[in-house]
Structure 1
């Protein structure tokens, strides 16, 4: 099997999840409480955090913040809030973008991405993003990381059906004339690995640089690696090192 394209999740896969999103969403919640006249209501803030899988700064790997969309967050918040808020989704999307801009210096890559993307270019691999974030926030983060020009396809939840739908993989394949089995999906959550399975991608590769645990990722992933640096070892992809077969132990260290 020859892999010709790779779809990367963004948060926890290319950029450090904990360096930005708990802070951003915490600031958004504070603004929301102020907007509805509940400023300083710690109980309500804790309930809002809990509704999306955030507790004491720790992100639940199966929670909404880990892999949900801005619409998912909106719905979770609305279920907790004491009253309905019109246009909450639009407000929340705008605030997340604004808070991300304000905290952009906290956006950090999980590792030095330059050697990886240089190697992918040299190998002729088509590179895309498949993320639960909205497009504008995604573009902002990619620009800050200095990898926007390395990404040929940006699949966000406001443009395509959210993961684990196979649509983002299908559109990626359609744009570049790829077969599904010629695409590898790389991500830090079970949702990413389910996306690989649902789309019948060539490989689903879990990374331990985000919120997902090795135990959960191994249930669906073909490979589990520490971070994206380990995709290539001595100029060979991990699936080439292993003889281009799916390994039973699921775990691989380059």
Structure 2
């Protein structure tokens, strides 16, 4: 019996490309301008993050599945800056950019209705994301999801996925067994994290294709809205 569900955020609850590609391009442009470096670095900086010249996203790339600190570490050599300093700058830039353009936060279907349904069935709901807490909290509040979310784990509050520490904290908080919980996400990292639960569940609404997700999970669904029927919740 499933008593708790941990959801990834980007590509799972909200559309990935509508928010992250344009925002990341703007931030890279602003960094280049702020540090007065050659604009020829724009394309390689975006590519190291996972955005190709035609604005397509590389599956399981840095911005698709890793943390902001990982992005800072990858970008720091381009501008001769410390990772720690750039990490703080990126944290502010992404938060401000998200708050300034909340219209770019597009839920995948009626997420609020789904969360209300899970809440009414006494299923604990948690978010485990590679994103920062500030952007995550703003996103959940903007979408009206916060009243139905029991637990939030972000890359700046817990060790990043696939470390199981966020799962352990979720289970301890609500007296659950790991076998009572499933994790739903759209990347390889999500599937590896989910292997610590009853089972990882892949969704095709994000940045990975069916073949990739099926390497790590026997359950791959179109979106999160298929879980109620699939698991008979």
TM-score by length of 2: 0.95
The answer to whether the aligner puts 1:194 opposite 2:179 as a matched pair is no
Per-residue deviation, residues 175-223 of structure 1 (Å, max 9, x unmatched)? 11110010000001111000011x2x11211000010111000111131
Q: Could you say what secondary structure the match of 1:19 adopts?
A: helix
Which position in structure 2 is the counterpart of 1:54?
A: 51
The answer to whether the aligner puts 1:232 opposite 2:228 as a matched pair is yes
Q: Could you say what secondary structure the match of 1:171 adopts?
A: helix
Which position in structure 1 is the counterpart of 2:19?
A: 20
Which position in structure 2 is the counterpart of 1:44?
A: 41
Shift of 1:115: 2.9
Shift of 1:239: 3.3
**CA distance in structure 2 between the partners assigned to 1:114 and 1:97 by the alignment:** 22
Q: Mind listing any 5+ residue stretches in structure 1 that lack a counterpart?
A: 242-254
Which position in structure 2 is the counterpart of 1:149?
A: 147
Q: Specify which structure has the higher proportion of helix.
A: 2
1:188/1:210 contact within 8 Å kept: yes
**CA distance in structure 2 between the partners assigned to 1:115 and 1:224 by the alignment:** 21
Which position in structure 1 is the counterpart of 2:133?
A: 135
Which position in structure 2 is the counterpart of 1:252?
A: none
Correspondences of 1:104-143 after superposition (within 5 Å): 104-143=102-141
Per-residue deviation, residues 159-189 of structure 1 (Å, max 9, x unmatched)? 0000111111111111111100100000011
**CA distance in structure 2 between the partners assigned to 1:229 and 1:203 by the alignment:** 17
TM-score by length of 1: 0.88
Which position in structure 2 is the counterpart of 1:30?
A: 29
**CA distance in structure 1 between the partners assigned to 2:4 and 2:121 by the alignment:** 10
- Give the 4+ runs in structure 1 shifted more than 2 A: none
Which position in structure 2 is the counterpart of 1:248?
A: none
Which position in structure 2 is the counterpart of 1:11?
A: 10
Which position in structure 2 is the counterpart of 1:181?
A: 179
Which position in structure 2 is the counterpart of 1:251?
A: none
The answer to whether the aligner puts 1:207 opposite 2:203 as a matched pair is yes
2:11/2:186 contact within 8 Å kept: yes
Q: Could you say what secondary structure the match of 1:13 adopts?
A: coil
Deviates more, 1:172-181 or 1:55-64: 55-64
Q: Mind listing any 5+ residue stretches in structure 2 that lack a counterpart?
A: none
Shift of 1:118: 2.3
2:37/2:79 contact within 8 Å kept: no
Query: Root-mean-square deviation (CA), in Å?
Result: 1.4
